Amino acid sequence: MRKLERSDLLTLEAYAAQRAHLRASAHAHKRVRTAHLGDHFTLLFEDRITVQAQVQEMLRIERIFEPAGIQDELDAYNPLIPDGDNLKATLLIEYPDAQQRALALAHLHGIERALYSQVEGHARTLAHADEDLDRSDAAKTSAVHFLRFQIEPPAIAALRAGARLYFGIDDARAPLCVEASPALREALLADFD
Q: Where do the domains of the chain lie?
A: 6-34+47-80, 86-192
Return the pLDDT at 139: 77
DSSP 180: P
CA diameter of the chain: 50
The helix/strand/coil state of 103 is helix
Contact 119, 155 (CB under 8 A): yes
Contact 120, 77 (CB under 8 A): no
Long-range pairs, 174-180, Cβ under 8 A, ≥24: 174/37, 174/38, 174/40, 174/41, 174/108, 174/111, 174/114, 176/37, 176/38, 176/41, 177/37, 178/35, 178/36, 178/37, 180/35
- Residue 167: name the closest of 157, 154, 158, 176 by CA: 176
List the chain pLDDT tens, one digit each, 193 residues. 899 999 999 999 999 999 999 999 999 999 999 999 999 999 999 999 999 999 999 999 999 999 999 999 999 999 999 999 999 999 999 999 999 999 999 999 999 999 999 999 999 999 999 887 667 777 789 999 999 999 999 999 999 999 999 999 999 999 999 999 999 999 999 999 8
CA dist., res. 128 & res. 93, Å (int): 17
Return the pLDDT at 130: 87
The helices-and-strands tally (H runs, E runs) of the chain is: 6, 9
Using a 10 angstrom Cβ sphere, with 0-12 exposed, 13-18 middle and 19 or more buried, the burial of residue 100 is: exposed
In the chain, which ranges are continuous DSSP H helix? Answer: 12-32, 48-62, 67-77, 98-107, 153-160, 182-189
Return the pLDDT at 193: 87
